[in-house]
Structure 1
């Protein structure tokens, strides 16, 4: 009889829990969130996530179709089961950076396994009032990044927009098996240091079916990144898709296995690029493959730059010590807004090895009546296929 009573009490507990959170949906409005344009919902969101994270079966945090004001927030696991965060509305950041903690974050997700962020909503960093606070030489580290993913595993971000971040839109650190799908990044060309997605020390990061328009690199790949796949991404405006810059700091980890395929670039400063500092610490970049890419009015469509030294912040006379090997550029076509459509400036100290170039069709469309050209140093690439310009002679 005692066992029956315990079972009955457990059943009642399950029923009451289901009534409190039907289908394990944790709506931020039930935690006090108000869409009045002035009430910060960070406490409500944290409380909703905390309960969802502790729920024993898959759960969902819901931000409905409204506009909400959100201060800095960190959503942290580990969680007991998969968690979906469904953002259907618009989340707006505070406009005054001085009212935010100086930790470089607006919304942070960390130490969560099996996270899904989706819903068609927008994270609006309201960065336009902050961009002017940074000079061209200032890195603006005090300004918050829209979305940080720290040590996230087996996760998907899809049907989400990041708009007008004050600094980087997305920073990925220490993550494994994270996919961005149908992800939109929107910021004007003049926005400073607003990299779209920056990846560092992470493995198995996939970006696909996405549109990135911003004022810096559409995607930037830092040290320790492995098995990064970027497909069907439209980039522009922006500075292109970049591996690096690398070699500035001691003990940087190798970058291995980057594939950029079936992507399009429109009116960007660069197309596909690998960049390392001169006078650098030792490092390595290997297995880089850029294939089936369209360039439309791109300033530097194909570039390896091992003398990257913005604002003369380094000794350009000393060679880079970052080794670049096993790189291919294949089936890249379109137009270049500058005469030098292909530039491979490798290190004089450690020349590039294993570089392959195949089927490059890039036409110069500037005012000068001349054809596109290539410039190459410290590299002897293998040339295959047909080309609209002479490569590395």
Structure 2
């Protein structure tokens, strides 16, 4: 005979409730929420007619509702121009946007006056999910991107732009062929990205997967990102960010920066990138700063348990970004950086490059258990410049010889 005490019985009852509960993404029973179906606001599925106003009206109704609200996008294909989901909202609960269909952007850059195709502004509590697809049709406008030749270029609209968001979750979505960045988050706090698939061709210009700036406590996990630019990029003011179990490639890898381009930039601090795989990317883990006069700091960064598969520059600090001078005078101070348990293959004969500023050398850079091999078994080496670096454990390629600063 099995005897169940009071605490065990309580646990069983809780688990039973969780298993049988028909709940939304926030754990709220479906019976306790109000659904705002975009079809009820005159959305036009499977039509070239735009549904922009219908989507924004459905959002507005949900945002003004004080109970549990869910905006629902049924299966089907919906054409949207520039769309803004704005707060603040009246309720005290997270609004859910459930996208079960496919959203397609109007492929005309003149339709967009803002930073993005779809924007979320000034919202405390939002969950975006549903397994749907956001197709920005960027292949129709990439020809207008001139950022390779124009340093003051205007970036094409991001697929999703988050500004001033608190307590957000974005999960189980597919973003394809963004015009500019696929996802840009700025001035936000406590936002999680989970289970995303981001896809664009290798030659698509400036189609970063996720760009984070001026934000604190952001988490990205269990996602696959294939783009023509950075998989994940950390801009100024990025603090306390964790990237975990992300697969990247093709693209330019995971980048801190570029920093030092603008005056008065905010520092980057507290980055953790772990358990990631990079496949066929131009760079692996890159820190890049301009060689100009604008000051900034990037410190407290850990890159751990990273697998490189045919990556050109697995570990690189480039403080001459935008200026290939052999002696960088960058005013961005880099310190307290740890690379540990990084292994795999490279197409470069110099897979470890720590090229820091002669004006402000890098300090307290640590490499632990680095094991990289050339895809054609060519001998490989390290290159260091103006850096205080320490080594422990396995080091392949061999550490830099002699003083590094």
TM-score past 0.5 threshold: yes
> Structure 2 CA distance, aligned partners of 1:354 and 1:374?
17
In structure 2, the CA distance between the partners of 1:242 and 1:142, relative to structure 1 (3 Å rule), is closer
Say whether the 8 Å CA contact 1:145–1:168 is kept in structure 2. yes
The residue aligned with 1:349 is 359
Q: Which runs of 4+ in 1 moved over 6 A?
A: none
**Matched residue SS, 1:24:** strand
Separation of aligned partners in 2, 1:225 and 1:109: 19
Contact 1:380-1:392 within 8 A present in 2 as well: no
**Contact 1:279-1:317 within 8 A present in 2 as well:** no
Q: Tell me how far apart the structure 2 counterparts of residues 384 and 145 of structure 1 sit (CA, whole Å).
A: 42
Matched ranges for 1:1-393 at <5 A: 23-81=33-91, 82-98=94-110, 100-135=111-146, 136-138=148-150, 141=154, 143-309=156-322, 319-366=329-376, 370-393=378-401
Q: Is the 8 A contact 2:319 2:355 kept in 1?
A: yes
- Retained in 2: the 8 A contact 1:39–1:69? yes
CA deviation vs aligned residue, 1:309-343 (integer Å, no higher than 9, x gap): 16x7xx77550011111000000000001111110
Helix, strand or coil for the counterpart of 2:298?
A: strand
Q: Distance in 2 between matches of 1:345 and 1:360?
A: 18
8 Å CA contact retained: 2:139, 2:177: yes
C-alpha RMSD of matched pairs (Å):
1.5
Give me the whole-angstrom Cα distance separating, in 2, the residues matched to 1:69 and 1:176: 30
d(CA) in 1 for partners of 2:33, 2:200: 37
Judge conservation of contact 1:225–1:255 (CA < 8 Å) in 2: yes
Query: Whole-Å Cα distance in 2 between the matches of residues 318 and 186 of structure 1?
Result: 35
Matched with 1:16 is: none
TM-score by length of 1: 0.91
Once residues 363 and 349 of structure 1 are traced to their aligned partners in structure 2, the CA distance between those partners, rounded to angstroms, is 33
Q: Are the aligned partners of 1:122 and 1:163 in contact in 2 as well (CA < 8 Å)? A: yes
| TM-score (normalizing by structure 2) | 0.88
TM-aligned CA deviation for residue 351 of structure 1: 0.6
Deviation at 1:57, TM superposition (A): 1.3
The secondary structure found in structure 1 opposite 2:33 is: helix
Cα distance, 1:334–1:318 mapped onto 2, change above 3 Å: closer
Partner-residue secondary structure (3-state), 1:113: strand
Q: Residues 82-117 of structure 1: CA distance to partner in whole angstroms, max 9, x if unpaired?
A: 20000011000011222x133231000011111000
Instruction: For 1:194 and 1:118, locate their aligned partners in 2 and report how far apart those are by CA, in whole Å.
Output: 22
SS state of the match for residue 182, structure 1? strand
Contact 1:34 1:41 in 2 (8 A): yes
User: What CA deviation, in whole Å up to 9, does each residue of 1:162-184 have, x standing for no partner?
Assistant: 11001111111100000000011
Unaligned runs of 5+ in 2: 1-30
Report the Cα distance in structure 2 between the residues aligned to 1:65 and 1:141, rounded to whole angstroms. 34
* Structure showing the higher strand proportion among its residues: 2
Distance 1:209 1:63, change over 3 A: same
Q: Given that residues 329 and 356 in structure 1 are in contact (C-alpha distance below 8 angstroms), is that contact kept between their aligned partners in structure 2?
A: yes
